[in-house]
Amino acid sequence: MKQHKEKKETIHTETGWEQVYNRCIARSQKPLSQLRTQSSQDVYSVHYAASRTINPVELERAGLSFLPITKSGHCPERWQAGGKDWESRYGVSDWKPESWRCSYGIQVSTGSPSGDITDLDFEFAIIRDHSDVLIDTLQQLCALVDNPLLVITKRGGLRFSVRTPGYVHPICEKIAVATWKNYREHDTLYLEIFGEKGLSRYDARYEIVSGSLLNIPEVDYRPVLEIVDALREQIGTPKPEKPISAKSTTSGQQRNDVSSVKFVDALPSDLHWVERSDGSSMSFRSDYPCQVTGHTKSAGAAQYYKQLNGQIDAFCHNCQQSWIVKHSDRTTRINEIRAGRLSPLAVQRKTVKLIKDERASTILDALEKAGERIAAFFRSTTRVLAFRADTGTGKNHATETYAINEGAILINVPTSDLAIDLEKRMHGRLSDAGLPRDQVFRRRGLMHRWNEGKDAHRRFPHEIPCIQAARCDAYRKKGGNMYETICSSCPVEAECLQYGYRSQPEHAKNARMVITTHPDFHLNPAHKGFAKSYLTDCTGESRVIVQDDVSTHALFLECQITRNRLQQMRDAWDGTLLASFAKELLHLLDVEGTPYAIGDYLDTLTQQQKGLLNYQLTRARIQTTQADGTITHSVMTLDEAVANGFFGDASETEIAQMPAVYPKHWTLLDQLQSFFEHYKRAEDAPIQYHDGILTFTIPPRLHNTVWKTVFMSATLDLDLFKRVFPEAHTEDTPPTQWTTDAKVYQLRTNRNPRATVYNRVDSEVRGLSDTGENYWQLMINEIARTPDTQHAIITYKDVLKWKRDDEASDLTGLHNITATAHYGNLVGLDSKFQDADTLWILFAPEIPDYEITWRAKLFFGDDTEPLNYERDTETGMYRDSRLQQVWENAVIGELIQAIGRARLVRKARTVIIFTSHHIPGITDRPETKLFDEADWDIAGGIDGLDNAIAKREEFEARAAALTAENTIVDFQEVHGCSYERARQLWHEAGGSEAKTEMDITLYKQIQALKVEKISDSKIAKYLGISRGKLQSLLRRYGA
């Protein structure tokens, strides 16, 4: 990212101003994206303009007052309530560190706090309507100073900033040039001037055309105001005087003409009222659609105001229109809809965010067909195979069948519980096939159930595989060979070789299926030696290695080296090549802060030096002092050092004092070389140095002794998988048919990300927001209403904790909640959900931006085309399709995992999804119904939801078919609204009273001619209308 610097390009030529104009037009059509502040040890790098970052300390030095802002432009802190004012100057330390860390730019105070800054903000409207006049004005303004600060704003406007010593522009004269509707409201705004109590925003969407924020020029204010006055005379209109008899409206917002205010039926059901000082109330702004203009952008648009007399007004902050809400009992309306006497469209609904794609393929595999596809896939001769198949289609069943009927197999599963379940199921299938139970073997890790009890000797070997597991594990992590050093003196070594941990390779050889929970068993070079004994059976037949529930990003190998370990290398190997190596890495990391430069350093090493480095990295260097005081050094393996008494291994504490060494064929140098061979560009390489730890990742490497491996999952992104294993044969099995009566209901009006369902006060999370609580209570009420139905819940981990800790919560008191789980921990929970009839998936899973960025670097960091990490400001989607693909794989994959817990291909369960993300293979199915909050209210619960959705869809289709040919009464009936509102909708469809009168006249003429027995075609020709028009008029007025 470019750092700030003064920009002295000239814009005083005709070509220069044309370029500025073109950039403004481009920005109005496609705004840039905001970027989050980067921080390291309380040093912040703020994106204050496009391609520019700044340490805000420099703004302090420039005499500016400023505050950090979130994406919405507001400060994360309630700064005025905290005692801050508009007159004081505030710098970095006046705001909390967490406010800076979550910020997306700054607001700079205008006026006296920043040395009398005056900002002229030209709206895009003046560029659109009066570009020539604007350029002439800007030329005059720029001529007043040597290096003008000119900025293109986020929507294509222009900001001219100067310091006007001794003058602060009054806030009451902020609107400088505009045309006016009336004395209260402007029609078109062209220029605002910010001085007193003003804030000017700077973030990554703004572009600095010339000048520097750190060097704002000074000028006498009088010529500036003279230029503004001249501009007003050319394109502005004087603000009308306030009528003497005018009275303020009762609305919470001022209106231009009370007589023109529309009356609208219906009120949103989830309004949260906040009482104001005068006793009236106002709602929070939310995604309520505008009831006047019907514009599509409704995020935070509408706000409602309840007056002391009970009247409710509304105001749209996007289009500045007002309306009055007619008093209407929502409950009465819902009862009328249930009785069939009123249209379902008569109640207020939120904006629709999710629509089914009717063009999506509805070709579904039968369950048996899916099983056949998977079985055939296992028989492929390709070395690397990967396939995606729905949860419950029999991926593990196919694995078991292959082991029984065709060949040896080793399967990796995510958890020990899944391994135990698979072993039990395989025992049953072996028994049915007349085969012995030992044909399946479940390998237990060294630390298996070690922490679940104290008496290791009593628990060995059936419950735990090793009586000294913690000690062995500690020594193994230091790089030593536990078999030589610890096992050789173990009192139960003989039993271990027969029944315990060390017996496992021999037992595994006799089994047709080996089950493990070791995810990088066959991919990590560090495990190559230990894995070898499991890759063939007793006959020498190579096993098929199967990875179940795989997450492709988790296949990458994460490598780390700490500052402390590098310092130990430097000190222990002083005067050697390894010490120089450690010093250079410490310098590049701690002094220069350039971890990717390690690759350049490695290129300077000769092959002989690399060989020596690898030797030293696998050894310990022991310093001894002789009797005469001479200091000598000995180099040996860690096992030799223990055997010679230099280190003790009797306890974990003693082992912790040993130096760490690397395995012979996978040293730090090997890891770094593998990394830099794959990732050739510094910008997008997955390497970082944070809190004294260097972390980098390496694509997985399949051991050359592996014959064939199969990766399978319900959420496998095969395109991303091919990035890791280009030679792989992949297959995406079609969606599988659900069992009869399986149903999914998905919310269509709200994605419900964490940001909207959490309640944040001064950047601290304080439970669920009103929106989140409404959805939670809706679910809880339904669970309480159906005590004979078993329910399961998947949501955020925090939410489950809050509700368990809350004594007033019904979560722990409802006995028909059989299971709960949280996002990020859904793999391996099938048994927990097997008794549930209804599965609730509450809110959208959320993957932090930094995690998406890191995963994108894993997959695409070796591309020649750099990654673009920006998001679209309107949609929130990543501009770079590669990052969007990673995001969808993460978030949508988590939702698919959640839905998979219901196993709809095998059991008739009901799933309710409270997020409006489009879920491939789920949303567009015919069994999936899209609903909104009003549907739920009308239905009264899950059992009435199908009918409520069907009626609403029927009336939506009728509403879409209405045209100007229909009557106002038709509009009123279909929309369930007042005659006034129906008339407005009819006008919007092209209807007009004048046209209606003409149609009635034509109808009377047609009737008169038909009396004379003239045919329709001749009448149409005579009247100059089409035959279709004639028939339409007869249908419309003939009843």
What tokens appear for 748 in the block?
A: 């269509």
| Residue 778: strand, helix, or coil | helix
Phi, psi dihedrals of residue 197, rounded to the nearest 5°: 50, 40
pLDDT attached to residue 638: 96
Is the confidence at residue 268, as pLDDT, over 70? yes
Helix (H) or strand (E) run with residue 881 in it: helix 881-900
* Residue predicted with more confidence, 257 or 408: 408
Is the confidence at residue 13, as pLDDT, over 60? no
Question: CA-to-CA distance for 288 and 273, rounded, in angstroms?
Answer: 14
Question: CA-to-CA distance for 720 and 709, rounded, in angstroms?
Answer: 17
pLDDT attached to residue 252: 40
Look up the CATH architecture of domain 258-328.
Single Sheet (2.20)
Question: CA-to-CA distance for 130 and 310, rounded, in angstroms?
Answer: 46
Reported as a pLDDT band with limits 50, 70 and 90, residue 242 is low
Cis peptide before 519 (omega within 30 of 0): no
Question: CA-to-CA distance for 309 and 250, rounded, in angstroms?
Answer: 10
Closest among 955, 928, 1036, 943 to 991, alpha carbons compared: 1036
Quote the percentage of the chain above a pLDDT of 70.
Answer: 91
pLDDT attached to residue 440: 96
Q: What is the rounded average pLDDT of the residues 607-621? A: 97
Reported as a pLDDT band with limits 50, 70 and 90, residue 597 is very high
pLDDT attached to residue 10: 44
Pairing of strands 693-698, 687-690: antiparallel
Is the confidence at residue 247, as pLDDT, over 60? no
Reported as a pLDDT band with limits 50, 70 and 90, residue 269 is low
pLDDT attached to residue 136: 86
pLDDT attached to residue 254: 41
Residue 709 β-bridge partners: 384, 545
Q: Work out the mean pLDDT of the chain and round it to a whole number.
A: 87
Strongest mean pLDDT among 79-83, 353-357, 868-872: 353-357
Is the confidence at residue 255, as pLDDT, over 50? no
pLDDT attached to residue 981: 78
Residues 6+ apart with CB under 8 A from 680: 862
What tokens appear for 452 in the block?
A: 């679940």
Is the confidence at residue 184, as pLDDT, over 50? yes
Mean pLDDT is lowest, of 89-98, 433-442, 935-944, for 89-98
Can you state the angle between helices 607-617 and 668-678, rounded to 10 degrees?
Answer: 130
Is the confidence at residue 833, as pLDDT, over 80? yes
Rg over alpha carbons for the chain, rounded to the nearest Å, is: 36
Superfamily in which the 743-866+877-931 domain is placed by CATH:
P-loop containing nucleotide triphosphate hydrolases (3.40.50.300)
Quote the percentage of the chain above a pLDDT of 90.
Answer: 51
Question: CA-to-CA distance for 620 and 662, rounded, in angstroms?
Answer: 10
Q: What is the rounded average pLDDT of the residues 218-230? A: 90
pLDDT attached to residue 965: 84
Asked whether 931 and 350 are in contact (CB, 8 A), the reply is: no
Helix residue ranges, H only, 406-548: 416-432, 456-459, 469-477, 482-485, 493-498, 504-509, 528-532
Is the confidence at residue 614, as pLDDT, over 50? yes
Reported as a pLDDT band with limits 50, 70 and 90, residue 553 is very high
Q: What is the CATH number of domain 363-435+512-550+699-733?
A: 3.40.50.300
- DSSP assignment of 317-386 equals TTT--EEEEPP--HHHHHHHHHTTSS-GGGS--PPP-----TTS----B-HHHHHHHHHHHHT---SEEE
Reported as a pLDDT band with limits 50, 70 and 90, residue 643 is very high
Mean pLDDT is lowest, of 122-131, 183-192, 507-516, 691-700, for 183-192
Reported as a pLDDT band with limits 50, 70 and 90, residue 305 is confident
Asked whether 302 and 290 are in contact (CB, 8 A), the reply is: yes
Rounded alpha-carbon distances, angstroms, from residue 1036 to 863, 968, 985, 992, 1015: 64, 12, 18, 15, 19
Tell me the domain boundaries of the chain.
14-235, 258-328, 363-435+512-550+699-733, 557-680, 743-866+877-931, 957-1037
pLDDT attached to residue 933: 94
Q: 363-435+512-550+699-733: same fold as 258-328?
A: no
- Read off the pLDDT of residues 722-755 as tens digits, 9 standing for 90 and up: 999 999 999 888 888 899 999 999 999 988 888 7
| CA 459 from centre of chain | 45
- Read off the pLDDT of residues 845-888 as tens digits, 9 standing for 90 and up: 988 888 999 999 999 999 999 999 988 766 778 999 999 999 99
- Read off the pLDDT of residues 747-802 as tens digits, 9 standing for 90 and up: 999 888 887 888 876 557 778 888 889 999 999 999 999 999 999 999 999 999 98
pLDDT attached to residue 359: 66
- Read off the pLDDT of residues 907-938 as tens digits, 9 standing for 90 and up: 999 999 999 999 998 999 989 999 999 999 99
Q: What is the rounded average pLDDT of the residues 266-287? A: 71
Reported as a pLDDT band with limits 50, 70 and 90, residue 644 is very high
pLDDT attached to residue 307: 73
pLDDT attached to residue 158: 96
pLDDT attached to residue 3: 44
User: Max CA-CA distance within the chain?
Assistant: 138
∠ CA 19-21-25, nearest 5°, is 115
Closest among 409, 406, 423 to 511, alpha carbons compared: 409
DSSP structural state of residue 597: G
Phi, psi dihedrals of residue 426, rounded to the nearest 5°: -70, -35
Amino acid in the structure at residue 341 = R
